Amino acid sequence: MTALHEIIDYCDARLAIDRFEDYCPNGLQVEASQKIERIVTGVTASLALIGAAAEMKADLLLVHHGYFWNNEAAPLAGMKGRRVRALYASNMSLAAYHLPLDAHEELGNNARLGALLGCSNSRPAGDSLLWEGEFPTELAVDELLVRIQGITRREPLLLPGGGHGVRRLAWCTGGAQGKMEKAADLGVDAYLTGEASESNFHVAAERGIHFIAAGHHATERYGIQALGVELENKFDIKHQFIDVFNPV
């Protein structure tokens, strides 16, 4: 077993949470169990994930999407109250890492997705959350879509920007459809994110850049798993990732 504060202190420092102005608190969000033997990781701290983690006797639930967002009602009532009660009933602490886990250059969602896609020279593109890289050879768009679907296990949405293939790619996991024009300014062939907005269709057509939405949940599975594996290797704990289905 390992003390809760040791794990939280390690994660806070490893992900450099003080560098970020985020929409939610990063780090420990609900304090219950003080001694950690088993960690469950997942994307979002939903009631379904809490229940699955409780069945595995987890002492700490570690997620990308936690609670206490800027636009969220403060009272621990309704859905949020039920979730927090379930955590305490299971004596399970909760920690969440949002933007720090997107941006981290080794463990982050963007870094991990770029590696899975086979991009070389993956790097932040003047913005810690917007990344770019190159494929060794140009891919046909259909070939790239098949590769993305194989990784995410979800059919991606393509908004075509012309008849060209893809050699240079930019991406930002999650709900980053608003970064598409920044990606177009880089001169890349395609931009990949999780969600789509109506305007992305027109930007793709008018700026000649393919837009691909591969799922918010599906593009953000990877950082939290990498963090869990690192914790298992560093501390005397066990780790299990649980993927609660979300089609969005």
Q: What is the pLDDT of residues 67-120, one digit of tens each?
A: 999 999 999 999 999 999 999 999 999 999 999 999 999 999 999 999 999 999
What is the arithmetic mean of pLDDT over 160-187?
A: 98
Cα-flanking dihedrals φ and ψ of residue 157, to 5°? -95, 130
pLDDT band at 133 (very low <50, low <70, confident <90, very high): very high
pLDDT band at 47 (very low <50, low <70, confident <90, very high): very high
Structure-token pair, residue 192: 């990949």
Per-residue pLDDT, 76: 96
Cβ neighbors of 109 (< 8 A, separation 6 or more) are 64, 101, 102, 173, 174, 219, 220, 222, 223
CB distance 194 to 220 below 8 Å: yes
Per-residue pLDDT, 126: 87
CA distances from 122 to 19, 88, 172 (A): 21, 41, 12
Going through 54-113 in order, the beta strands assigned E by DSSP cover 60-65, 93-96
What is the arithmetic mean of pLDDT over 18-22?
A: 96
CB distance 138 to 166 below 8 Å: yes
Per-residue pLDDT, 51: 98
